[in-house]
Amino acid sequence: MSKITLIPGDGIGPEVTESVLKVIAASKVNINWETINAGEDVYKSTGSFITDELLNSISTNKIAFKGPITTPIGKGFKSINVTLRQKFTTYANVRPVKSIPGVKTPFNNVDLVIIRENTEDLYAGIEHFVTDGVAESIKVITEKASLKIGEYAFQYAKKHNHKKVTAVHKANIMKISDGLFLDCIRNVAAKYPEIEYEEVIVDNMCMQLVMHPERYDVLVLPNLYGDIVSDLAAGLVGGLGLVPGANIGDDIAIFEAVHGSAPKLAGKNIANPTACILSASMLLDYIGEIDSAEKIRKAVYSTIKEGVYITKDLGGTATTEEFTNAICTYLKNNY
C-alpha cells in the first residue's frame, strides 16, 4: 500500500481534499494517507508555516497530495506552495487543460498541456527596495533549469504522443533572460525532429489561445508566464474548478489543482472538487494505478455530462458533497 503525504490546505482546501479521499476510496485503491497540514493555522499552533514533520514526511514518502494554501498579498510570509516546489525541486509543473463534454464554453476542442518551469524566474523571491519608492525584483533564468524543463516537455510530448511543442517567451524585451530560456529550449527541440517546434511571444500567445486554442498542444513556459497562461487556459474550458496539476521532480512529486484557496467559497460546500479529483487521477497514474485513474476520470466526466449533479461554477446547484457522492456512486455502479 502506498504511503502518501496529504496536505489539506486552507480555504476550500479541506473540502476539496475530502472529496479526493472519498473518490479514491470508492475507486478501491488503498492509500495510507499521512495527513499533515501547512499554512497560517499551523503557524499559530507550532510557530512554523511548514513543520519539519511535513518536510520529513514528503522526503520519506516522495509523493504528496496538496490542497490549496492561502498566501497573503503584498506582505506576510513567503508562499508555502512556492517554498515546497523549490525545496523539493519539483521542477516541472504539468497542467493538462482539456474541454469537458457538458461544460458550456465557447470552445469544445481544447486539449493543451502546460509545462511550466517551477523553481526560478521571478519566483526566486529576490526582491528589495533599492531606495525609497523604487523596488526591484530579480528574474533568475538558468541554463540548467531551462534545459531541464525543455527536456521534460519534449519527453512528455513523445511519451503522450503529442505532435507539437510551443515555447512561450518575451525574449524580444528580456533578451538575456528569456533569450537564454529560448536558446535552451531550441537546443532541446533540435534533438526531437519528429515533434514540431514553434515559438510564440507571451502576449500574442494569450490572444491566440482565446481565439484558436485548438492550434496548440504542449506549451513550455518560464514560471511566471506559465502561471498566468494556466489560469487563462482554465477559463477556456470552464474555469479553475476543472484544471488539475502536478509538480514533478526527479524523485518527488506533489499533486495539486491549478486553483487557489478561493476564500469566498470556503466553508460553503459549493467549491468544485473536479480539479483536485483529476489531480488525484494524475497521482494514481504516477504510482502505476492507471486503470483506477482512468475509471475516476470517466466517473467525473460522466457525472458532469449527465448534468444532474453540477456545482455552482458550472451553472448547477449541487453541493461539493452531492457532486462527490454522484462520482462515487458512478464508480460503485460501474466498476
Active site amino acids: 123, 170, 203, 227
Say whether residue 244 binds ligand NAD (CB under 6 A): no
Q: Are 218 and 164 in contact (CB under 8 A)?
A: yes
3-state secondary structure of 281: helix
- In sign, the C-alpha dihedral spanning 164, 224, 80, 37 is negative
Tell me the one-letter amino acid at 17.
Answer: T
Say whether residue 271 binds ligand NAD (CB under 6 A): yes
In this structure, what DSSP letter does residue 112 have? Answer: E
The C-alpha atoms of residue 244 and residue 291 are separated, in whole angstroms, by 18
Say whether residue 262 binds ligand NAD (CB under 6 A): yes
Say whether residue 264 binds ligand NAD (CB under 6 A): yes
Instruction: Identify the residue among 23, 260, 283, 304 touching ligand NAD (CB under 6 A).
Output: 260
Instruction: Give helix 320-334 / helix 290-306 axis angle, nearest 10°.
Output: 120
Say whether residue 10 binds ligand NAD (CB under 6 A): no
Instruction: Identify the residue among 265, 266, 304, 318 touching ligand NAD (CB under 6 A).
Output: 265
3-state secondary structure of 272: coil
Cβ distance to ligand NAD smaller for residue 12 or 171 = 12
| Alpha-carbon dihedral 301, 26, 96, 180, rounded to 10 degrees | 170
Q: In whole angstroms, how close is the CB of 307 to ligand NAD at the nearest point?
A: 17
Q: In whole angstroms, how close is the CB of 271 to ligand NAD at the nearest point?
A: 4
Q: Which residues lie below 8 Å from residue 132, measured CB to CB, with a gap of 6+?
A: none
Residues 74-103 close enough to bind ligand NAD by CB under 6 A: 81
Phi, psi at 290, each rounded to 5°: -70, -40
Say whether residue 259 binds ligand NAD (CB under 6 A): yes
Say whether residue 325 binds ligand NAD (CB under 6 A): no
Residues in the interface with ligand NAD (CB under 6 A) total 21
Instruction: Identify the residue among 229, 240, 254, 331 touching ligand NAD (CB under 6 A).
Output: 240
Tell me the one-letter amino acid at 276.
Answer: C
Q: In whole angstroms, how close is the CB of 315 to ligand NAD at the nearest point?
A: 12
Residues 298-317 close enough to bind ligand NAD by CB under 6 A: 313
Instruction: Identify the residue among 272, 281, 324, 325 touching ligand NAD (CB under 6 A).
Output: 272
Instruction: Identify the residue among 95, 241, 252, 289 touching ligand NAD (CB under 6 A).
Output: 241
Cβ distance to ligand NAD smaller for residue 121 or 313 = 313
Residue-by-residue DSSP string for 45-99? HHS-SS-HHHHHHHHHH-EEEE------SSSSSPPHHHHHHHHTT--EEEEEEE-
The residue whose Cβ lies closest to ligand NAD is: 260
Bridge partners (DSSP) of residue 140 are 121
Which string of x and - marks every residue 98-137 that binds ligand NAD (by CB under 6 A)?
A: ----------------------------------------
Beta strand residue intervals within 163-315, DSSP E:
164-169, 196-201, 218-221, 246-248, 253-255
Say whether residue 68 binds ligand NAD (CB under 6 A): yes
Residues that bind ligand NAD (CB under 6 A): 12, 16, 68-71, 81, 240-241, 256, 259-265, 271-272, 275, 313
